[in-house]
Structure 1
Amino acid sequence: MSERFHFRLLAMSDLHGHLIPESLTDFTQKPSGLCAISSIIAKHRTENTRVLDLGDSIQGSPMMDYHQAHRHSSPNPVAVLFNHLKVDYFVPGNHDFNYGRSYLDQFIDNLNTTKVLCANILDKKNRPAFGLPYDLFTLGEGIKIAIIGVTTQYIPNWERKSHITNLRFENACQVAKRLVEHLKKIENPHLIILAYHGGFEKDLDTFEAYVADTGENLGSRMLEEIPEIDILITGHQHRSIVSTVRNTLVIQPGYNGKAMAVIDVDFIKENGRYAIRKKAILEKTDNYPVDETCVTLLSNIRKETEKYLDIRIGKTTQDLLIKDAFLARRDKHPIVTFINQVQREKTKADISCCSLGNQVSGFPDIIRIRDVLSTYVFPNTLVVLRIDGQTLKRALEKNAEYFALDEEGRIIANPRYSYPKTEHYNYDMFDGIDYCIDVAQPYGRRIVTLTYQNKPVSTHQSFTLVMNNYRSTGGGEFQMYRNLEIVKEINIDIASLLIDYIKKHKTITIQAHHNIRVINSNQ
């Protein structure tokens, strides 16, 4: 007669501070967030259940923006809910460093029982800088389960140096492989789970590359090189995945608290050996009620956040709302000109570039702090680089890849910027130069005109170019920026610079500057 033991793992990733079921910028109701995830946990939690969060948890919402600026006045709201929900494991993500190492450390210190797992980020003494490399526990009659945590090693290519001082980021795949070999040799667990804040660099069906193999995403390599992994839980790319690849159960549970993975493992003992059966589903939060207890726990920080967001800082007589995100990029919305104007004025750079987030609002006639934070959604600062004409053109050619043509020759957004991850923020628009993008031309030959102060830009002509710190380190595959001379850095959040500028000038009037043309020369 066979014996059966059951284990369940509930996994979420990339919450980005989405806790309550309402947007604090436009007041729309959203059936998502950790207060809704709570109901999924309540339904599916059993005696043999663990709850895992895969990082990018404490940055990305107005509530978290407010809290990080007032961090000593109240407990971290994500930690409050993690403690209430008794989350068992936390693996840090790249965005968890955005508010600084001290903020991440404070969040971890606020956790009561949650174990932090991260094997490949080491301190200067060569020890795990955050928690443990893995957790090993026993279920039932001697069933051993190991959970390893690793984080994308690409963080130094994005993050401010001051936020990662004395940290070393090792290759996530190599570290995971070593730990799996160690565990198999020493402990021989019945089940090995790898929790990786990173995504996939290859298609999971064909294993053909669909993103550049920079080391940012190594999930496919893990599947190829570490077949002993029974369950691979990933994040970072904001995808919804449940699949079995080469006998490994593969999961990615979405983002912003829209879903949670429910992973079930049955251990069936026959003739002294265990057979393992594993399966998973993604439970969507729009099928569950909001946990009002969680909402109540956040009532004070919510009120304080709303009061802050509602502060009136200025006005405009123009229509500066962004109604169509694609047209805002193709035709360069006045908001883009405004951001570049503030960046150039602050730094005195010759040229400025900026992007728009995947979802942005623009400004109504009465401008409040909430409007700025829902228009400039990144926790970035400014960096001024020295760049020559040849490198500038390379950067523009990279940006020109954002556009494509449909079957009828209409200009559209390149589908590559929507899959495998939505990355419209990786298209920058420039001010201080005039240029034309011809989408009918092949990549690398799309910039057909480029002038500065009405004169063609020459190969060796030198400029100062201001951009956000993420882009200055090559984020978004802009490798041409990585080794350029840094002229200056402004360590103030760009959103704060915009708020201060509006407060100072009170009425915002933006002169349209049609310096970017996007054309199809075949029409």
Structure 2
Amino acid sequence: MGRRTVIGGAAATALAAAGFQAVPAYAGPLGKHDPRTVRLSVMGTTDLHGNVFNWDYFKNTEYDDSAHNDIGLAKISTLVTAVRERIAREGRTPAPLMLDAGDTIQGTPLAYYFAKVQPITGGHLHPMAAAMNEIGYDAAALGNHEFNYGLDILRKFQRQLKFPLLGANAQDWTTGLPVFPPYVLKRVHVPGERPITVGILGLTNPGIAIWDKANVENKIKFGGIVELAKYWVPRVRRAGADVVIVAAHSGADLSSSYGDALPVPENASALMAEEVPGIDAVLVGHAHQEIPERLVTNKATGDQVVLTEPLKWGMRLAVIDLDLQKVHGRWKVVARHSQVLNANTVAADPRVTDLLQKDHDKVVEYVNAKVGTCTEAMSAATAPWEDTAALDFVNFVQADAVSKALAGTPQASLPVLAIAAPFNRGAAIPAGDVSVRDVAGLYIFDNTLLGVTMTGAQVKDYLEFSAQYFKQVSGSGPFPSDQVTNAPTSTAPTGTPDYNYDILGGLTKPMSYQIDIAKPVGSRITDLQYGGVAVAADQQFVVAVNNYRQSGGGNFPHVKTAPVVYNRQVEIRQLMIDYVSTTGEVNPATFHTTDWSLTSNGSPIVVS
């Protein structure tokens, strides 16, 4: 707790501690401050993912990580107050605006509880809506995870907000018209002058069409970020906007986790700034990156556009400063700057924590409730590079659920496999009493379960694709894990995330294989066997898989076109909790065997 010593009322101290840098206002051609310059400040968050408190519900303790980041809207509120107080103390007008770039209502047990256990459709105010309303947001963009719980929850959340939820490229399936407000105009006061009209355009991620296909198909389609910005930015200008800010739930650097499954890219914010005239600033989301300031030159106008991304979970607050002057009677941005402020330097705002303490306490009680016992401890810390009981447990529950559901169907006699990714290296189930949070920590996403049929050849292709997660190294080691895992690829230039590496397991018989990481990508899977017998290319399997992967997330081969034989929209995490509740015990001896391993030129390697 020692580093969290600053309170919101001491604005100058709080901002200095958070890393705020005062930037001189625009200077004219002679390098002197022009008194006609007006500065508009815009604050922003993104990828809050259900975080209000600086709390790790899975560890049941205050949040911390290797960089000692803090999280949550309560911390952000303190920084927002400090920025507002500084601007007011300086006598500056207009007052600052507050925006968000999406992924708000999914990601923590707090968010899950009020979507699934006590859904807000029953009348409870969503804690994220309550916190954002209290802080005083002016607008927010839709994120892809807003659609995870279905349209009823999303529409209820939208109605609970005191500000617009924007999504210009969320379009009616038939008419193509936007089904959420595409933009909002905010008029901010300037003494002695006409107001500055700020147009805020919201764009979300086209990948929703893949990742939440079950919730949006035949209802909502999603156009490209660049294409819809080209359509809407001129309209926002014609509607009277002097300034155009885009809140884009799309990473800055061009890439797509879904490859060519969609004709438009997943991450395109920088491309949009280059290609679409008329944008002054972009609040970037989705990629969970920290971008204090990036200046992009628009190809058509030569004007600079400032991009900023404030990391994730409320770790940072972005502050964009736009200096404006009157040009031919209209306000025009003549200079731009952005920075991010660190939330770990301030205390939580008691207005927010007091408002939501009962919700928080209710969820803490829920996730700490005992559901069973475990005969021995299981950890996911080494799951990316060795076969662990923790991931075998996930695969066992998935495969078992699909197998039971297939009884009496034509697929009932087929061998059942399951696929799981090491989502959370920090997850662990202790020996002894097991709580909801222990089980849920192994599966931190709200994915649902499907079963598809695949051939032996397709399973091998799938594993080869998954194995690109490893960097190519030779020798027996020992290698530090970061020298082996998270290899960069063309679609993940900063490194393949853990959630895009899949591990395969069998239900009644082991699916065994080795991954030779001395070999090039595409020829790494060796000794692929089912029940001790080499897998035949035409052998048929049922594969249990999550909806994200089956709908194309990660762009793994075959799975999105494979015939679906099971889809009851049951959440995998809840299946795991139900398994422990029903059986009363988790015993790794019933499901854990060492079936896969890493090798180098056929010899075992050691990863530390």
Aligned partner letter, 1:222:
M
- Once the two structures are superposed, residues 487-522 of structure 1 have per-residue CA deviations (whole angstroms, 9 ceiling, x without a partner) of 111321111111111112212111331111211117
Aligned partner letter, 1:494:
I
Match of 1:465? 543
How far the C-alpha of 1:320 sits from its partner, in A, is: 1.0
Match of 2:452? 385
Aligned partner letter, 2:486:
N
The answer as to 2:437 corresponding to 1:370 is yes
* Alignment partners' CA distance in 2, 1:407 and 1:434: 22
Match of 1:287? 345
Match of 2:316? 259
Match of 1:206? none
Corresponding residue pairs, total: 513
Q: Residue 189 and residue 73 in structure 1: after superposition, are their counterparts in 2 closer, same or farther (change >3 A)? A: closer
Match of 1:449? 527
The answer as to 2:301 corresponding to 1:249 is no
- Once the two structures are superposed, residues 202-241 of structure 1 have per-residue CA deviations (whole angstroms, 9 ceiling, x without a partner) of 49xxxxx999575211223213311432212211010011
Paired residue secondary structure (2:365): helix
* Contact residue 318 and residue 340 of structure 2 kept, 8 A: yes
Match of 2:600? 520
Give unpaired runs (5+ residues) of structure 1.
204-208
* Alignment partners' CA distance in 1, 2:391 and 2:322: 50
Aligned partner letter, 1:339:
V
* Contact residue 486 and residue 498 of structure 2 kept, 8 A: no
Aligned partner letter, 2:450:
V
The answer as to 2:67 corresponding to 1:17 is no
Match of 2:248? 196
Match of 1:37? 76
Q: Which has the larger radius of gyration?
A: 2
The answer as to 2:118 corresponding to 1:70 is yes
- Once the two structures are superposed, residues 321-366 of structure 1 have per-residue CA deviations (whole angstroms, 9 ceiling, x without a partner) of 33x3xx2221121011111111111111611111121444120121
Match of 1:404? 471
- Once the two structures are superposed, residues 232-285 of structure 1 have per-residue CA deviations (whole angstroms, 9 ceiling, x without a partner) of 221101001121122211111110110010111111347867451111110010
The answer as to 2:345 corresponding to 1:345 is no
Aligned partner letter, 2:555:
E
* Alignment partners' CA distance in 2, 1:164 and 1:212: 20
- Once the two structures are superposed, residues 156-208 of structure 1 have per-residue CA deviations (whole angstroms, 9 ceiling, x without a partner) of 11114135551121122101011123344x346432212110113449xxxxx
Q: Residue 266 and residue 224 in structure 1: after superposition, are their counterparts in 2 closer, same or farther (change >3 A)? A: closer
Match of 2:422? 356
What pairs with 1:185-334 in structure 2 (closer than 5 Å)? 186-187=238-239, 189-202=241-254, 212=259, 215-241=265-291, 242-246=293-297, 247-269=304-326, 274=332, 276-322=334-380, 324=381, 327-334=382-389
- Once the two structures are superposed, residues 83-115 of structure 1 have per-residue CA deviations (whole angstroms, 9 ceiling, x without a partner) of 111111011100111111111111111112x11
Match of 2:566? 488
How does the TM-score come out when normalised to structure 2?
0.80
How far the C-alpha of 1:295 sits from its partner, in A, is: 0.6
- Once the two structures are superposed, residues 428-457 of structure 1 have per-residue CA deviations (whole angstroms, 9 ceiling, x without a partner) of 111121111100111111112211222222
* Alignment partners' CA distance in 2, 1:421 and 1:404: 10
The answer as to 2:499 corresponding to 1:425 is yes
Q: Residue 375 and residue 443 in structure 1: after superposition, are their counterparts in 2 closer, same or farther (change >3 A)? A: same
Q: Residue 378 and residue 413 in structure 1: after superposition, are their counterparts in 2 closer, same or farther (change >3 A)? A: same
What pairs with 1:498-517 in structure 2 (closer than 5 Å)? 498-511=576-589, 512-517=592-597
Q: 1:121 aligns with which of 133, 150, 170?
A: 170
Q: Which is further off, 286-295 or 143-152?
A: 143-152
Q: Which is further off, 130-139 or 308-317?
A: 130-139
* Contact residue 19 and residue 33 of structure 1 kept, 8 A: yes
Q: Residue 245 and residue 212 in structure 1: after superposition, are their counterparts in 2 closer, same or farther (change >3 A)? A: farther
Q: Which is further off, 352-361 or 431-440?
A: 352-361
* Alignment partners' CA distance in 2, 1:520 and 1:219: 40
* Alignment partners' CA distance in 2, 1:38 and 1:16: 16
Paired residue secondary structure (1:130): coil
* Alignment partners' CA distance in 1, 2:274 and 2:574: 45
Q: Which is further off, 361-370 or 39-48?
A: 39-48
* Contact residue 451 and residue 457 of structure 1 kept, 8 A: yes
* Alignment partners' CA distance in 2, 1:171 and 1:451: 42
* Alignment partners' CA distance in 2, 1:331 and 1:89: 45
Q: 1:145 aligns with which of 187, 198, 216?
A: 198
* Contact residue 384 and residue 467 of structure 1 kept, 8 A: yes
Percent identity at matched positions? 27
Match of 2:212? 159
Aligned partner letter, 1:13:
T
Aligned partner letter, 1:473:
S
Q: Which is further off, 494-503 or 264-273?
A: 264-273
Q: Which is further off, 120-129 or 6-15?
A: 120-129
Give unpaired runs (5+ residues) of structure 2.
1-33, 64-69, 88-93, 298-303, 404-414, 604-608
* Contact residue 455 and residue 540 of structure 2 kept, 8 A: yes
* Alignment partners' CA distance in 2, 1:334 and 1:419: 31
* Alignment partners' CA distance in 2, 1:82 and 1:88: 9
* Contact residue 350 and residue 465 of structure 1 kept, 8 A: yes
Q: Residue 422 and residue 39 in structure 1: after superposition, are their counterparts in 2 closer, same or farther (change >3 A)? A: farther
How does the TM-score come out when normalised to structure 1?
0.92
Paired residue secondary structure (1:67): helix
How far the C-alpha of 1:77 sits from its partner, in A, is: 0.3
* Alignment partners' CA distance in 2, 1:118 and 1:227: 19
* Contact residue 513 and residue 526 of structure 2 kept, 8 A: yes
Q: Residue 15 and residue 182 in structure 1: after superposition, are their counterparts in 2 closer, same or farther (change >3 A)? A: same
* Alignment partners' CA distance in 2, 1:268 and 1:341: 64
* Alignment partners' CA distance in 2, 1:16 and 1:387: 34
- Once the two structures are superposed, residues 101-156 of structure 1 have per-residue CA deviations (whole angstroms, 9 ceiling, x without a partner) of 111111111112x1122111012443321233443536533433222111111111
* Contact residue 486 and residue 495 of structure 2 kept, 8 A: no
Aligned partner letter, 1:471:
R
Match of 1:82? 132
Q: 1:53 aligns with which of 92, 95, 100?
A: 100
Match of 2:486? 414
- Once the two structures are superposed, residues 274-325 of structure 1 have per-residue CA deviations (whole angstroms, 9 ceiling, x without a partner) of 4511111100101111101211111111121122112111111212133x3x
* Alignment partners' CA distance in 2, 1:192 and 1:131: 15
Paired residue secondary structure (1:397): helix
Aligned partner letter, 2:441:
S
* Alignment partners' CA distance in 2, 1:65 and 1:182: 37
Match of 2:185? 135
Q: Residue 262 and residue 422 in structure 1: after superposition, are their counterparts in 2 closer, same or farther (change >3 A)? A: farther
* Alignment partners' CA distance in 2, 1:245 and 1:358: 35
